[in-house]
């Protein structure tokens, strides 16, 4: 790969190759746990893991559902617990590859966030990054550990990642005997929020941040993601839209909006321009199946309208049309509480009996005002990050069924206005790519393989891989104008490439220009401007 070799300069001169080198590496790794001196750390271990090993992972909480991880390079695995207060702490691991590039990388977590993303740590370590992840201050996917313990909330809001960075860089330097050259962050969803939190509050931590589908405006997205339950009501209630209607609604969305980008191909390049109405699906007289009652149609309209608060102002943007065939129906429209309602239970109301059907606009105000440790993550001033030369590469799937993609341009515009920067000035340090046909962080019928995870990687070419793209931007000053994604036949790599598409950066949108739609150059980026609700 021509481009990659120009990026992967600087495999550490310290990494001695060959059998002797590996024996040294093993010995140094075994000794590391005893030589580390990290304040607040306990239960430190270090073990050599040869390439090809399937590492058995500690089951700190079964809900994390990660029991093993394939390891594809020789590395030194370090683990420890680090206290963050007298009643809280993180568990963290650092995976230090034998062939170190000099780079440091920190990963993030999903949802309420108590599960280390070992697959991301391994992905980066396999490319020579010293890679770190934490449990975000508690174990498992649930929120009960937050109850009556604001220090665990603080870890979730900001402290786990920052602590992981400080300790992780220290461990990296102790092990290799020299500080890292550049530091990176890679994550999506709740971890995307952590990436923005770092840019806002700890701008020195990273040179480059990849923050996908970020759960920013955290309090408000919590209101939004919990608002679907009272909107649909329980299964079978008059407001509830039967699950078998969502594919029909999806076809109706495509009928109304697929041509906005110039081509009817089942993929919306600009769902923000889609002013969807379910009116055509309202049951004709005597019709009882494959249609919506007026009450159900109102439910659909509510879902595709912005969530407004008590005073009628925006709380959170609408679900983007086109996501009906992704995670959204099962996650949000199924008449059961979404996992984030535990934030209301255990952080906002401290009430294990709180009824998620009772959520109402005054609660949006309450959670917004509570905002512990500024978990909201909505500061518009990124000048600290910009001035230290930091680069932010963010992406959002335009079919995201968990975090609507409309939040990402909204925050971009907030930063642009707060800092008084035009989009070409924003381009210096902050680029947002909207990925058509991509669901939440991965998946979907679009050209959605962009290298944000190993599972979601097509190639290592920086034009097609966000991790190598941010490295090229930070280290060579070559900023990405587009990100090329790959779609596979039936979404399966083994079935071969279906097509590639160049995803435009905001405020541009992708428009079909003519010719073979499977060719990247049959599409072009045109100015879009702010059209989010």
- Both tokens of 520, joined, read 């990247």
Q: Which of residues 290-309 bind ligand NAG (CB under 6 A)?
A: 309
Q: Does 408 bind ligand NAG (CB under 6 A)?
A: no
Q: What would the DSSP string read from start to end of 419-444?
A: HT--HHHHTTTEEEEEETT--SSS-S
The full 3-state SS of 282-305, as one line of letters, equals: ECCCCCCCCCECHHHHHHHHHHCC
DSSP state of 157: I
Q: Does 530 bind ligand NAG (CB under 6 A)?
A: no
Binding ligand NAG (rule: CB under 6 A), the pick from 196, 206, 343, 364 is 364
Q: C-beta of 495: minimal distance to ligand NAG in Å?
A: 4
Residues 340, 226 contacting (CB under 8 angstroms): yes
Q: Does 338 bind ligand NAG (CB under 6 A)?
A: no
Q: C-beta of 371: minimal distance to ligand NAG in Å?
A: 10
Please name which of 390, 423, 451 lies closest in space to residue 509, comparing C-alpha atoms: 423
**C-alpha span between 388 and 445 (Å, rounded):** 38
440, 469, 503, 528: the catalytic one is 440
Binding ligand NAG (rule: CB under 6 A), the pick from 368, 478, 481, 517 is 368
**C-alpha span between 83 and 41 (Å, rounded):** 7
Residues 74, 98 contacting (CB under 8 angstroms): yes
**C-alpha span between 128 and 181 (Å, rounded):** 12
Binding ligand NAG (rule: CB under 6 A), the pick from 14, 243, 282, 495 is 495
Nearer to ligand NAG, 314 or 478 (CB): 314
Q: What is the CA radius of gyration of the chain?
A: 23
Stretch that binds ligand NAG, among 159-167, 311-319, 469-477, 513-521 (CB under 6 A): 311-319
Number of residues in contact with ligand NAG under rule CB under 6 A = 18
Residues 205, 198 contacting (CB under 8 angstroms): yes
Q: C-beta of 52: minimal distance to ligand NAG in Å?
A: 20
Binding ligand NAG (rule: CB under 6 A), the pick from 10, 21, 40, 150 is 150
Active-site residue, 34 included: no
**C-alpha span between 487 and 515 (Å, rounded):** 18
Binding ligand NAG (rule: CB under 6 A), the pick from 33, 314, 479, 511 is 314
Nearer to ligand NAG, 182 or 197 (CB): 197
Q: Does 371 bind ligand NAG (CB under 6 A)?
A: no
172 phi, psi to nearest 5 deg: -60, -45
91 phi, psi to nearest 5 deg: -105, 135
Stretch that binds ligand NAG, among 179-187, 286-294, 461-469, 487-495 (CB under 6 A): 487-495
Nearer to ligand NAG, 3 or 211 (CB): 211
HSE-CB for 317 with a 13 A CA cutoff: 22
Binding ligand NAG (rule: CB under 6 A), the pick from 365, 371, 383, 522 is 365
Binding ligand NAG (rule: CB under 6 A), the pick from 42, 87, 148, 264 is 148
**C-alpha span between 87 and 107 (Å, rounded):** 24
Active-site residue, 217 included: no
Q: C-beta of 149: minimal distance to ligand NAG in Å?
A: 7
Q: Does 88 bind ligand NAG (CB under 6 A)?
A: no
Active-site residue, 189 included: yes
Per the DSSP assignment, residues forming a β-bridge with 314 are: 308
Active-site annotation, residues: 189, 400, 440
**Which residues contribute to the site for ligand NAG (CB under 6 A)?**
65, 148, 150, 217, 220, 309, 313-315, 349-350, 364-365, 368, 378, 489-490, 495
């Amino acid at each position: 790969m021509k481009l990659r070799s120009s990026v992967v300069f600087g495999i550490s001169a310290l990494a001695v190759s060959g059998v002797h080198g590996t024996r040294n590496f093993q010995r140094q790794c075994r000794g590391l746990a005893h030589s580390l001196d990290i304040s607040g750390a306990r239960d430190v271990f270090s073990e050599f893991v040869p390439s090809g090993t399937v590492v058995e992972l500690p089951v700190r909480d079964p809900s994390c559902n990660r029991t093993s991880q394939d390891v594809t390079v020789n590395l030194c695995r370090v683990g420890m617990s680090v206290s963050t207060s007298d009643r809280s702490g993180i568990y963290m691991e650092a995976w230090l590859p034998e062939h170190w590039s000099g780079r440091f990388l920190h990963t993030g977590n999903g949802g309420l966030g108590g599960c280390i993303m070992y697959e991301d740590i391994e992905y980066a370590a396999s490319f020579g990054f010293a890679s770190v992840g934490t449990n975000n201050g508690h174990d498992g996917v649930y929120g009960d550990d937050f109850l009556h313990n604001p220090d665990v909330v603080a870890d979730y809001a900001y402290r786990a990642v920052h602590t992981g960075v400080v300790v992780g860089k220290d461990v990296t330097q102790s092990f290799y005997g020299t500080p890292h050259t550049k530091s990176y962050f890679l994550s999506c969803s709740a971890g995307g929020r952590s990436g923005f939190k770092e840019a806002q509050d700890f701008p020195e931590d990273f040179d480059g941040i990849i923050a996908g589908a970020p759960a920013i405006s955290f309090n408000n997205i919590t209101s939004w993601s919990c608002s679907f339950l009272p909107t649909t009501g329980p299964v079978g209630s008059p407001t509830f839209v039967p699950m078998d209607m969502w594919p029909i609604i999806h076809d109706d969305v495509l009928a109304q909006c697929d041509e906005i980008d110039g081509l009817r191909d089942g993929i919306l390049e600009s769902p923000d321009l889609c002013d969807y109405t379910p009116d055509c699906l309202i049951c004709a007289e005597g019709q009882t199946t494959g249609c919506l009652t007026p009450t159900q149609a109102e439910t659909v309209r509510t879902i595709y309208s912005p969530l407004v608060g008590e005073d009628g102002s925006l709380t959170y943007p609408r679900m983007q049309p086109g996501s009906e065939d992704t995670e959204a129906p099962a996650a949000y429209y199924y008449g059961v509480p979404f996992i984030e309602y535990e934030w209301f239970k255990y952080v906002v109301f401290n009430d294990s009996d709180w009824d998620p059907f009772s959520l109402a606009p005054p609660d949006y105000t309450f959670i917004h005002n509570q905002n512990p440790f500024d978990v909201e993550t909505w500061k518009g001033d990124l000048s600290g990050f910009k001035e230290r030369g930091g680069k932010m590469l963010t992406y959002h799937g335009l079919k995201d069924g968990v975090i609507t993609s409309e939040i990402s341009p909204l925050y971009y515009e907030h930063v642009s206005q707060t800092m008084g920067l035009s989009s070409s000035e924003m381009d210096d340090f902050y680029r947002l790519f909207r990925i058509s046909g991509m669901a939440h962080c991965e998946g979907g019928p679009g050209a959605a393989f962009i290298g944000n995870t190993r599972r979601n990687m097509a190639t290592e070419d920086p034009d097609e891989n966000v991790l190598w793209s941010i490295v090229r931007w930070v280290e060579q000053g070559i900023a990405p104008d587009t990100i090329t994604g790959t779609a596979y036949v039936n979404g399966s790599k083994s079935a071969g490439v279906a097509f590639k598409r160049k995803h435009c950066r905001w405020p541009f949108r992708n428009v079909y220009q003519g010719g073979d739609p499977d060719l990247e150059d049959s599409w072009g980026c045109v100015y879009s401007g702010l059209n989010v609700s």
